[in-house]
Amino acid sequence: MNKNIIIEKLEDIAVISLNRPEKRNALNAAILTELSTAMDEIAENQRIRGIILTGNGSAFCAGADLAYLKEISQFGEEENVRDSRLLADIFYKLYSLPKITFAMVNGPALAGGCGLALCCDYIFAEQESARFGFTEARIGFIPAIVMNFLIRRVSPSIAYHLAVSAQLINARDALQTGLVDLIFPERDLRNKTLSFVGNLLEQNSFEAMIQTKKLFQQLLDLPLKEGLEIASRLNARSRQSADCQKGLKQFLNKTTINWRSES
């Protein structure tokens, strides 16, 4: 039974809440293990299409737990490599999850906590209390794993500044840099996020969105000509898919589809 995370299922949307409010939802081995298991289960659940990741209490996630930091300070090289790869695997699992994912940032998202938000497709933030920062350099650490996702979200110059300066930025500044997609007042954050997810699932084919997500992530790592060849083949296959045939029919007949209830 999970105790460090809470999963709430609302039809085809799952809300995953980090549940260590007394520790500002700081990361340790237990919460990371539970989160990894939850993502595995959700990945296999065909009913779930939208994922919202948030934190209970006043913080989204304050980064690594102090006790966890004390523990890893005693690790040897092999233990450190194994532990680092575990964190990298969890981040990649969230990044590549075959669902549409949202970080609902209700307070500070720091270091590895900010990394969790970056691994989601969308980041929505509470406009007054949300804070973002890669504070690793303040303790002589490097935001090495997180940086892989940071450079995929904002410009190289902004990513470099955030990583090197260890500066905290508020929700409005994060919105301007492109780190955050939308900001809302505290009273509206949950309802607006759920409404956005629901509308997205109604208006668009889920299969088309997931294939777009996979292709987008793949193209980031490919030379242009190789990317165009892969994209051309996928484009051709998608035209023959059931969803595309259904979508073309409704477009030509000037009707509408509620994709959420259709499939």
Same domain for 109 and 210? no
The domain spanning residue 109 has which CATH number? 3.90.226.10
Q: Is 214 found in the same domain as 119? A: no
pLDDT of residue 45: 97
3 state SS of 148: helix
Q: What are phi and psi of 101, to 5 degrees?
A: -115, 145
Which residues are identified as catalytic? 136
Residues 16 and 129 in one domain: yes
Q: Which residues of 216-234 are buried (b: 16+ CB within 10 A; e: fewer)?
A: eeeeeeeeeeeeeeeeeee
Rounded distance between C-alpha atoms, residue 49 and residue 101, angstroms: 9
User: Given pLDDT bands bounded at 50, 70 and 90, which one contains residue 236?
Assistant: confident
Please state at what angle helix 242-252 crosses helix 206-219, rounded to 10 degrees.
120
Q: Within this chain, do residues 119 and 20 fall inside the same structural domain, yes or no?
A: yes
Q: Do residue 17 and residue 133 come from a single domain?
A: yes
Local confidence band at 2 (pLDDT 50, 70, 90 cut-offs): low
Co-location of 39 and 168 in the same domain: yes
Q: Which two tokens stand for residue 1?
A: 């039974």
Asked if residue 35 lies in contact with residue 16, where contact means CB atoms within 8 angstroms, the answer is yes
Same domain, 129 and 253: no
Domain around 76: 5-200
Confidence class for position 121, pLDDT limits 50, 70, 90: very high
Q: Is residue 87's pLDDT more than 60?
A: yes
Tell me the longest C-alpha to C-alpha distance in the chain: 67
- Which of 141, 130, 114, 228 minimizes the C-alpha distance to 175? 130
Same domain, 46 and 121: yes
Given a cut of 90, whether residue 248 has pLDDT beyond it is no
* Whether residue 188 has pLDDT greater than 90: yes
What confidence score (pLDDT) does residue 261 get? 81
CATH (domain of 220): 1.10.12
Domain boundary among 200, 226, 244: 200
Residues 192 and 154 in one domain: yes
Q: What pLDDT score does 1 carry?
A: 54
Q: In sequence order, what are the residues at sequence separation of 6 or more whose Cβ sits closer than 8 angstroms to the Cβ of residue 24?
A: 55, 57, 58, 59, 61, 62, 107, 108
Mean pLDDT calculated for residue range 20-25: 96
* Spatial distance between the Cα atoms of 201 and 195, rounded to a whole number of angstroms: 10
- With a pLDDT cut of 70, the percent of the chain lying above it is 99
Across 1-5, 122-126, 164-168, least confident range: 1-5
Q: CA 244, CA 250: separation in Å to the nearest integer?
A: 10
Total domain count for the chain? 2
Alpha-carbon distance 16 to 8, whole Å?
A: 7
Q: Shortest CA distance to 130 belongs to which of 167, 166, 176, 183?
A: 183
